[in-house]
Amino acid sequence: MAGQSKVEALPPWGSAIAGSAGAVLANALVYPLDIVKTRLQVQIKRFPTSTDDIPADDEHYTSTLDAVSKIVKADGVAGLYTGMTGSLIGVASTNFAYFYWYTVVRTLYLSYRAANSSPGTAVELSLGAVAGALAQLFTIPVAVVTTRQQTVSKYERKGLIATGREVIESEDGWTGLWRGLKASLVLVVNPSITYGAYQRLREVLYPGKKTLRPMEAFLLGAISKTIATVVTQPLIVAKVGLQSKPPPARNGKPFKTFIEVMQFIIEHEGVYGLFKGISPQILKGLLVQGFLMMTKERIELSFILFFRYVRQVRAQKLRKLADMAAEKARSGGPLLTK
């Protein structure tokens, strides 16, 4: 299997570095889409048939382009990059942890199973879910702080450390940094679906191929992420609602569970409110996952070639030492027979 040999060719830290580097580059390229999809997902619009008189958010966006134009008008082009530092730190740490643990658990599974056939789809999804859960436990505080930075007005916006302190000083205390953890753990199905679909599509479309060309990796990454996003969009919206400041209609009262967020959205916006922001979410996911997998494949190939070169140099040195030892033994032979 191509994917299997690929994973086994590198140690866990090699796959982790390749994955996190690819994720940082990809997210930096499309970061404005992250701002737009987060703003669209956190806003609350009154459901047309509702008679509730709920306070409106400060600004409403009707589409991706409308959000871009209004953000630029209010905050300038820099507004499209609000919270980018914290976001990229979170992306790097999350993807490093994910790819590290994914490689570890997959290698352990492959080493202990009896069959020699490739893992099935259910196994691939399970391995991805375990890796995603382990990654989320360590990295969710950065995601909470970044989401808070992205969704407040420019007058309330603070730096990464100050925003984190603000979260800690809220009614949740330190646990506020892990707000949305349950939703995040449920959402590990997103990367598990993504990478499970990636492995399966790779086996179907490019069987036996150990190294994919950049556009092949991009295509597989884009398709697999689109599938995962459509399936998990309601949970993504609920997670953003949990981690951002509560909407004006809540009068400062934060949501406690992602079920509560989903109920609130359905009550005021209808079921389709659970899929708000899906266009930029899919576009961002498609581009990010495509660039990520394309970059990851190239970096992994570079690591493999580097390790191969190191092994060759080491083998040459060992052969040279062995030859020197043999030559010394031959030259010292007569002396030993006396």
Query: Diameter of the chain by CA atoms?
Result: 110
pTM, rounded to two decimals: 0.56
Residues 6+ apart with CB under 8 A from 65: none
**Paired tokens of 169:** 């000083």
10-residue mean pLDDT series, the chain (338 residues): 44 77 84 85 64 54 86 87 83 83 82 70 76 79 80 73 81 76 75 78 84 82 83 84 77 80 85 84 78 77 77 84 78 52
The pLDDT, as a whole number, for residue 112 is 77
The pLDDT, as a whole number, for residue 115 is 63
Q: How does 227-265 read in b/e, with b if 16+ C-beta sit within 10 Å?
A: bbbeebbbbbbbbbbbbbbbbebeeeebbeebeebbebb
CB burial of residue 163 (10 Å; 0-12, 13-18, 19+): buried
Residue 182 exposure: Cα atoms within 13 Å on the Cβ side: 10
The pLDDT, as a whole number, for residue 3 is 40
> Domain locations in the chain?
12-44+59-299
CATH value of 12-44+59-299 in 3.60.10.10, 3.30.470.10, 1.50.40.10, 1.10.510.10: 1.50.40.10
The pLDDT, as a whole number, for residue 335 is 46
Residue 116 CB: number of other CB atoms within 10 A? 7
Cβ(148)–Cβ(242) below 8 Å: no
Residue holding tokens 């697999």? Answer: 224
Cβ(3)–Cβ(220) below 8 Å: no
- pLDDT tens per residue, range 150-165: 777 767 777 778 888 8
C-alpha span between 168 and 312 (Å, rounded): 53
- Backbone angle region of 257, left / alpha / beta, with phi > 0 → left and psi within -120 to 50 → alpha: beta
- pLDDT tens per residue, range 218-241: 888 888 888 888 888 888 888 888
C-alpha span between 137 and 204 (Å, rounded): 33
C-alpha span between 144 and 41 (Å, rounded): 15
